[in-house]
Structure 1
Amino acid sequence: MSKRLTADLASGALTEALADIAEDAARVILPYWRNGVVAETKSDDSPVTKADREAEALILERLEARYPGVQTVAEEAVAADGAPAEAAEWFWLIDPLDGTRGFIEGRESYTVNIALVHKGAVVAGVVTAPATATTWRSGAPGAGASRRRFGESWQAIKVRNRPASPMAVMSHSMTDVEAERLASRHGCVQWQGTDSSLKFCLIAEGRFDAYPRTGPTSEWDTAAGQAVLEAAGGRVMAEDGQPLRYGKPRFGNGGFVALGG
């Protein structure tokens, strides 16, 4: 593996670079938002747009230029060509536009996600919300998490101590009955729905306390958000109670819960 990758990971320069790439991808996406973008349907019945594909092309080109030779597992490339047979020791997980359905409907909570995985553990990640011009990132190991508005300085974020009345943030795809059941299972008396990996970031900055998920997701949906949340002091646990891992068969997740303080 390149010395630049490991040196940048150790110094925090890696997620600085990933943030710049994700924000440039956001600038590719924004002209399509609320502008009559046409969606196609992929084989798994999920939608895809030109914005997804163009953002992913930019991300892949920029990653290869800066860190050549690292395996990439990116949503649209996997949809077109299939997933790699197995994960490398180091690999990128990329979702160029998470929350495409909400994006098509004009909602704000869609994101760009880039994460780095080493031996099954997510070690760095960046999440960008184009609609609000906001980026979250993990820093150097042990340096915490931070957030910035485009063009502004980074501000440190962390999870909050669990309050007396914890709040859950849930997927919009869930029914109210299922959301209430899951929220109460994790001690939350209130819940709110939103799209995309933004849920991890809202917990990381101390606005919510739990995000439980039972339905299937892909690893590129969760890796970057998990990196940010863990750096901010939170946890993402699989159904066996262990940290959610990556490089699983077909790069798919089972159930998990993301927790704050």
Structure 2
Amino acid sequence: MFYRSRMRNRLSEDLASGVLAEALADIAEEAAAVILPFWRTDVVATTKADDSPVTLADQQAEALILARLAERWPDIPAVAEEAVAEHGAPERPGEWFWLVDPLDGTRGFVQGRESFTVNIGLIRDDAPVAGVVTAPATRTTWRSGASGGGAFRRRFGDPWQAVRVRERPAAPVALLSHSMTDEEAGRLAGRHGCTAWQGTDSSLKFCLIAEGRFDAYPRSGPTSEWDTAAGQAVLEAAGGRVMAEDGQPLRYGKPGWLNGGFVALGG
């Protein structure tokens, strides 16, 4: 019990100081280095039980991430996409846990598109308190900062730059999933006051809103919690918000690790 308490105290200290988010960024960028050699090659995707694709890049990146997290914070459990696909959904593990998607946007990755990401989020009491999203193809990482310390972006190897959502413009622009028809997308964007929309894959949508380039990401279909946790942490650190259909902040540790509809908003 003493050991567990000490490890949680260390995690809290790392979170408050910003050390945790820095370390997560390094881990996500290391995972990106595992993924990139597979990109735009003849990588083969197999189909999981939920009909979603998985590649060797997903599996190797997840193994690396889980190993690095366990080395640094060994007492904090992780819920990770490929482990859940192989072993089934675990019970909610406790007050603190990681949510990991080692390669979000696998379909686009297999097709050679750029907007796939590595997602690592930390949950405490059902809320995301830290997160890192890395886009390997563009060599870009976004992270939350120290507690209350804003959000940041860097190109691999460069200094961090602060990012923040923009004030809502007169003609807001939405980001939506590529899987939607034009008619569906236009209707969903209009429901949230957006006059135009653009399609893109993965958790990149949260980050583009966080850095002030877009204004909303409405989602009506289901997503898994590891798809959204890291991006939500980054967006909220940048001054945005992510709300479930009941108008409350999107929460985590739900049955089956599934989200309902939500909307991510900038200023």
Q: Is 1:208 aligned to residue 214 of structure 2?
A: yes
Shift of 1:4: 1.9
Give the drift of 1:188.
Answer: 0.4
Question: Residue deviations 1:186-209, cap 9 Å, x none?
Answer: 110000000000000000000000
**In 2: Cα distance, 1:121 partner to 1:179 partner:** 28
> Which residue in 2 is equivalent to 1:11?
17
What residue number does 1:153 align with? 159
What residue in structure 2 maps to residue 163 of structure 1? 169
- The partner residue of 1:253 within 238, 259, 262 is 259
**How many Å apart are 1:62 and its aligned residue?**
0.2
**Offset from partner CA, 1:67-110 (integer Å, 9 cap, x none):** 00111100000000011122311000000000000000000000
The 2-side partners of 1:82 and 1:258 are apart by 28
- Please point out which of 36, 40, 56 is paired with 1:50: 56
Runs of 4 or more consecutive aligned structure 1 residues displaced over 6 Å after TM superposition: none
Report the Cα distance in structure 2 between the residues aligned to 1:107 and 1:69, rounded to whole angstroms.
Answer: 36
The equivalent residue for 2:67 is 61
Question: How far apart, CA to CA, are the structure 2 residues paired with 1:4 and 1:142?
Answer: 18
Matches within 5 A, 1:106-255: 106-255=112-261
2:94 match:
88
Q: Give distance in 2, aligned partners of 1:94 and 1:106.
A: 22
Q: Structure 1: where are the runs of 5+ without partners?
A: none
Identify which of 60, 71, 76 aligns with 1:70: 76
Task: Compute the TM-score of the two structures, normalised by the length of structure 2.
Answer: 0.97
Residues matched between the structures, number? 261
Contiguous gaps of at least 5 residues in structure 2: none
Matches of 1:27 and 1:138, distance apart in 2 = 21
Query: 1:46 is matched by which residue type in structure 2?
Result: S
2:23 paired with 1:28? no
Distance 2:226 2:91 in 1: 16
Instruction: Quote the Cα distance in structure 2 between the aligned partners of 1:86 and 1:187.
Output: 36
2-side partners of 1:59 and 1:242: how far apart? 30
- How far apart in 1 are the matches of 2:167 and 2:92? 39
RMSD (Å), alpha carbons: 0.6
Query: What's the secondary structure of 2:187's corresponding residue?
Result: helix
Structure 2 counterpart SS, 1:137:
strand
> Once the two structures are aligned, what percentage of the paired residues are identical?
76
- Aligned partners of 1:244 and 1:169: how far apart in 2? 18
